[in-house]
Amino acid sequence: MKKCLNCGFDNKNENAFCCSCGSTDFSEPFGTNDIAAPAQPVPIMPPPPPISAPRPSEPKKPFGFFDVLTILGFVASLVGMICIWVVLEPLAVISSLLGFLKGSRSKGIAAAGIVIAVIAFIIRLFFSLYDNNVIGKWAVEGIFR
């Protein structure tokens, strides 16, 4: 800013004439436009966290012999409920158990195959024993019927 020597009005440094009286007589410029402001300390910012790249997923293990046994045991447990239960249900229990113990990928299917095969075997066994008059009617229909 520069001050007019005629009227005392503060004018901008780039003005050639006083905005108030039109005089061309100015004092030396003053103010923050001419004088360099003292350097402010720049706050030190912590570095940004590194951007993490997505990790590739681990490759899936290939199906092995025991994993195939697990699937066959599960299917045998379901088919054994319909036909050839005397052969298929024990086969389903054995193959599902081997798949559960030694397989690497399908433990859930192996457990389901074992449970389904055991329950189906017990139910079919009771009905077979009832049909051959080895056990009474209560074993199939219940005690309170």
Quick count: other Cβ atoms within 10 Å of Cβ 18? 21
Spell out where 29-122 has E strands: none
**What pLDDT does 27 receive?**
76
The model carries a pTM of: 0.52
- Provide the pLDDT confidence category of residue 29 given band limits of 50, 70 and 90: low
Residue 34 confidence class, pLDDT cut points 50, 70, 90: very low
pLDDT score at 126: 83
Residue 11 to residue 8: CA distance in whole angstroms: 9
The pLDDT tens digits of the residues spanning 74-97 come to 999 999 888 888 888 889 999 999
